[in-house]
């Protein structure tokens, strides 16, 4: 089931509306990735960060590997989230009709 972006109360103005939507984008993205990849929130953050190899210099970092399927799914979710935000903002791009 596809989740929708959480709805906010009626916006006061364009700036408030766009700002509140943008604040929710990372949370919505994280939720979608966790759902599609069957990850917990700690797993999401663990996969995102780089770690230092014990007893090594600062240049030796370990980055958790993502499978090709995970990479493709993450990019698809990214596109979906941004497309949804773009479509939501379409109401502000349209010029009001003149009577």
Residue 15, class by beta-carbon neighbours within 10 Å (0-12 exposed, 13-18 middle, 19+ buried)?
exposed
Which sign, positive or negative, has the C-alpha torsion 72, 74, 77, 78? negative
Domains in the chain: boundaries: 20-48+64-92
Can you give the pLDDT at residue 65? Answer: 82
Tens digits of residue pLDDT in 39-95: 999 999 999 887 766 776 666 777 778 899 999 999 999 999 999 999 999 988 887
Q: How confident is the model at residue 99 (pLDDT cuts 50, 70, 90)?
A: low
> How many CB atoms lie under 10 A from the CB of residue 75?
10
CA angle 76, 25, 20 (to 5 degrees): 155
What backbone phi and psi angles, to 5 degrees, belong to 52? Answer: -90, 135
Judge whether 81 and 32 are in contact, CB under 8 Å.
yes
Q: What is the pLDDT of residues 21-37, one digit of tens each?
A: 999 999 999 999 999 99
């Amino acid at each position: 089931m596809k989740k929708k972006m959480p709805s906010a109360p009626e916006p006061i103005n364009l700036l408030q509306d766009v700002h509140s939507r943008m604040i929710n984008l990372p949370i919505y993205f994280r939720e979608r990735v966790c759902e599609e990849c069957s990850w917990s929130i700690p797993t999401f953050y663990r996969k995102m960060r780089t770690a230092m190899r014990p007893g090594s210099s600062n240049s030796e970092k370990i980055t958790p590997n993502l499978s090709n399927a995970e990479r493709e799914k993450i990019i698809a979710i990214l596109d979906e989230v941004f497309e949804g935000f773009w479509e939501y903002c379409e109401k502000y791009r349209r010029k009001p009709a003149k009577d």
